[in-house]
Structure 1
Amino acid sequence: MKNRKWIGVLGIIGILLNMLPFGVFTSVSADSVIQDGGTFYQDVPEAANSPLGAAQYFHIFANDVTLRAHTSGNIAAKNFNGGNASFGTNGYLDKEYFYLENVQSINGSSGITGEDHNKLVVGASVSVDISNPNRPKINDTNMDHLTASQIYQDQGTNQYINFTTEMQKLNSASQTISSATPDLTLSATDFPDRNNRVIDVSSINKSAVFITLSADVLQMDTPLKIAGLEKGYDCSQVKSVFITVDTGGQSEYNSNSQINLSYTDGTVRANHEATDFSDSTILWNFTSNGQPYAGKVTINRPWQGSILAPQATVDGTGVNIDGSIMANEFLGAGETHRWDWHGCFHSEELGSVVLTKTDASDKTKCWQVLNLVYTIQTVR
């Protein structure tokens, strides 16, 4: 009789369990918990001393990013639409950081193959499934080159990168560069031979060279060569070149000039994928009457050099771009290649020289403090 009672009780318990939602009593494996991304400055603390902030450590940094073709570089985007192209720097051996706060689409081939090479952080609203740790999903897309241990997510109100704050830093940097007294001020008429247009900085004996171009220089459809560039990671010893392009208030600005580069060691650089950034010492700053340009920059010829345009839309049409792209919106290009700018800001014209001397082998700390110089200039 007692056995029958126990059988009846067990049967009732079984019925109740079947009525409950599946998995109520399933334990949660630690492997299924998505890691908190923390903040970028916790991962790369030296970025706090960079005049370009977190943006300097990304190939593409923008509020809105759309990819059209192969992107050999890392990305930070507030809003990301990248289903048409994979991203990740080919051959890069160090850890590469990515941040996609909101994801409309993503390509499953993105990331660098290798267990320790990726940290991809997504925003709190993005769907992440790491139930298969070897093939996690982001917004139901299988990520073939990432594992669960490489995917992180904003938790609560935490943000890995605050884009509002970072864009303010980039705006200040753009204004500081454009306010420096130029060493050269050029317009289209300064190049009488339109088929042999060269800006040679080799004879300018300064740590930082400031050049201002009127809008018509890059609107010409023949190549523009920047010559006399230097190589090296020690920015107190290597010349940095800042080129401010004054778009003249045009709502849409077309750059029709292929950019060619040559160096004091006799080498000539062409567009290519790279992991050696020692020759990336040129920064293009797009402005309008001394303020960051807020229109659309369309690049119609192959481009070399990092782009600072924090209020602008940058469209690479179908051409290749080598360098960091810092913009409000990036609409894609042909191929883009990571080529981090690492120059220094040195300005007697602003009444202050602020050099940070570091180990030449440290690629991340070769900076001067742009924001401090900008503050001094503003106070004066």
Structure 2
Amino acid sequence: MKKKLASVMMVLLMLLNTPVTGGGIAYAEEQTGDVTRSGLLGIAKHFHIFANKATLKAHTAGNVAVGDLDAQSNFGTIIKEGTLKLDISYIQNAKFIQSNSFVNSYGNRKNKAVFGENVQLTLVDNGNKVAANGNKLDHLNKDEIFQDKNGNQYINFAEEFKKLKNSSDEIATHPQTPSVEKNFDDENNRYFDVSKVKTTASGTVILTKTDEDGKLLDDVVFDLYEEGNNSPIKSGLKTKNGKITVTDLEKGNYYFKEVTTIEGYDVDSSEQKFSIKDENLGSGSTIYLDLTKEEIEKDRPIIIKGIDKNGSNIIVNVDTKNAQTINIGAEIKLQYTDGTDRSNHETEDFSDAVVLWNFKNRASNQVININRARFQGSILAVGNTVEVGQNVDGCIIADTVNITGGESHRWDFQEKNGNNGKPAELTMVNKLKEVPTKPEKPKTDTPDRNLPNTGDTQDPFLYSIILGISGLGLILLGNWKRKNERKERS
């Protein structure tokens, strides 16, 4: 009897600790109602934190997609307006997960938590709950948990970050949009005003610069003209990765003119013409702002004014100048055209999340510290470590994210990727400079041994005449002698 009871107890223990085998989804876009890959940020724009590594030590009000997660504090998108129906997180490897992580399903809200194959998922509490690496997940139901299997990965971080780097590099080529007012004269009232920027349908042109072998050429400088206007509408455009991208062009005729090229190549000063036609016009435009490392580090607020809710995307290119560390000191404030100011807060309404910060000219293993002032807008910092010690609202996309203080709030970037129009494209080829050939040395004639040597006084022609005259004289003299001899005989 004791043996039978022991056997039953063993079976029950095995059942209660059976690994969860549901899920096994390779890519998010393969699932109905799941996240989809699109636009510049791809899958990443659906997550509050998207990183290879993340450590959470302070309240994180948002979902995560992380390769290696250490969640000492709770995370999950808080239910506020009740508009978010599915809160998705992906944890490929877990060092630790707080038991009160994720947010309980309620009303229309459901969860989907996907774990990597290396995370041990077991049933606990009589099979009603699931533990991850021994830590019970109090806020998740069994049917909300999925797991990778057969070597498949719900998200391939290496592939996603490769695409994100390309997006960051492409964004970095855009200069500040004309009509943006940037006024930092008053340190206590530093602002961008984007209200005067045209956001009507506009087009994009992409110029590609190569040599005759198809090699992409960087640092070639161009000016852009509109036909009929002798003054450039954009000056000093420089190729990066062999390309120049210009947005916000109205319908019309334009041309590029090369100003300077790189050493070893000829400047092509011809007009490189193109047109923006109906097929090139998109349904809106992106507004680009330029900011320097020094400007964002100064402990004075930066205000972005004139933001249209549900309007154009605003992308801020921050030139980090290859610095190893960026210490953000400026509080970021956002003002909308309806007169409202946005403050950091928890929300499920992402419709006004149109601001993205792109950190360019990054050093290897660069660290961005947000410890001195509150920050608003999604962060694209591929390859970087982002240290968060203040309130941050937006997507945080980086190699490593550490939430150590304040609160971070999900606020998904709403990329406007509807009808972007077909870009006008043209390619220019630079020719190598011709290397001038060295003049040949004059040939020295070999003296003819039959001719008089240098220094002889005889002229060959004169010598021939003298010989001829001498011969004729001898003939005449001979004839004269013969005549005289006949006379003497007679």
Report TM bin, short chain: 0.7 to 0.9
Name the counterpart of 1:226.
Answer: 304
Name the counterpart of 1:356.
Answer: 418
State the alpha-carbon separation in 2 of the partners of residues 52 and 199 from structure 1: 24
1:298–1:316 CA contact under 8 A, matched in 2: yes
2:322–2:363 CA contact under 8 A, matched in 1: no
Equivalent of 1:256, from 320, 329, 332? Answer: 329
Q: Partner of 2:158: helix, strand, or coil? A: helix
1:66–1:80 CA contact under 8 A, matched in 2: yes
State the alpha-carbon separation in 2 of the partners of residues 307 and 379 from structure 1: 34
Name the counterpart of 1:95.
Answer: 86
Name the counterpart of 2:55.
Answer: 66
Q: 1:143: how far off?
A: 1.2
Matched AA of 1:53: G
Higher-Rg structure is: 2
1:297 is the counterpart of 2:400: no
Name the counterpart of 1:217.
Answer: 295
State the alpha-carbon separation in 1 of the partners of residues 151 and 427 from structure 2: 34
Name the counterpart of 2:355.
Answer: 282
Matched AA of 2:70: N
Q: 1:56: how far off?
A: 0.8
Q: 1:25: how far off?
A: 11
What pairs up with 1:7-22 in 2 under 5 angstroms?
Answer: none
State the alpha-carbon separation in 1 of the partners of residues 65 and 47 from structure 2: 7
1:57 is the counterpart of 2:46: yes
Q: 1:185 to 1:165 in 2, by over 3 A?
A: farther
1:136 is the counterpart of 2:130: yes
Q: 1:212 to 1:66 in 2, by over 3 A?
A: same
Matched AA of 1:42: E
Superposed structure 1 runs of 4+ greater than 4 Å apart: 17-29, 291-294, 375-380
State the alpha-carbon separation in 2 of the partners of residues 18 and 376 from structure 1: 78
Name the counterpart of 1:338.
Answer: 410
Q: RMSD in angstroms over aligned alpha carbons?
A: 3.3
1:197–1:223 CA contact under 8 A, matched in 2: yes
Name the counterpart of 2:69.
Answer: 80
1:68–1:334 CA contact under 8 A, matched in 2: no
Q: Partner of 1:239: helix, strand, or coil? A: coil
State the alpha-carbon separation in 1 of the partners of residues 101 and 427 from structure 2: 43
Q: 1:48: how far off?
A: 2.8
1:58–1:324 CA contact under 8 A, matched in 2: yes
Runs of 5+ unmatched residues, structure 1: 1-10, 233-237, 345-354, 358-367
Q: 1:310 to 1:320 in 2, by over 3 A?
A: same
Name the counterpart of 2:392.
Answer: 321
Q: What percentage of residue pairs aligned between the two structures are identical?
A: 32
Q: 1:86: how far off?
A: 3.3
Name the counterpart of 1:34.
Answer: 21
CA displacement 1:170-207 (0-9 Å, x = unmatched): 11111111112322699x9x512100111111111132
Normalising by structure 1, report the TM-score.
0.79
State the alpha-carbon separation in 2 of the partners of residues 341 and 285 from structure 1: 13
Equivalent of 2:145, from 146, 151, 158? Answer: 151
Q: Partner of 1:69: helix, strand, or coil? A: coil
Q: Which moved more, 1:115-124 or 1:19-28?
A: 19-28
Q: 1:85: how far off?
A: 3.1
2:124–2:136 CA contact under 8 A, matched in 1: no
Q: 1:58: how far off?
A: 0.4
1:311 is the counterpart of 2:389: no
Q: 1:104 to 1:379 in 2, by over 3 A?
A: farther
2:395–2:413 CA contact under 8 A, matched in 1: yes
CA displacement 1:188-243 (0-9 Å, x = unmatched): 9x5121001111111111321111111111111011100010112xxxxx221110
Matched AA of 2:98: N
State the alpha-carbon separation in 2 of the partners of residues 379 and 36 from structure 1: 50
Q: 1:70: how far off?
A: 1.0
Name the counterpart of 2:95.
Answer: 104
Matched AA of 1:124: E
Q: 1:294 to 1:136 in 2, by over 3 A?
A: same
Q: 1:42: how far off?
A: 1.8
Name the counterpart of 1:347.
Answer: none
Q: Which moved more, 1:325-334 or 1:243-252?
A: 325-334
1:218–1:255 CA contact under 8 A, matched in 2: yes
Q: 1:21: how far off?
A: 11
Q: 1:45: how far off?
A: 6.2
Equivalent of 2:194, from 201, 213, 216? Answer: 201
Equivalent of 2:315, from 232, 242, 259? Answer: 242
Q: 1:343 to 1:50 in 2, by over 3 A?
A: closer
Q: 1:104: how far off?
A: 0.5
Aligned length: 335
1:183–1:211 CA contact under 8 A, matched in 2: yes
Q: 1:254: how far off?
A: 0.7
2:120–2:133 CA contact under 8 A, matched in 1: yes
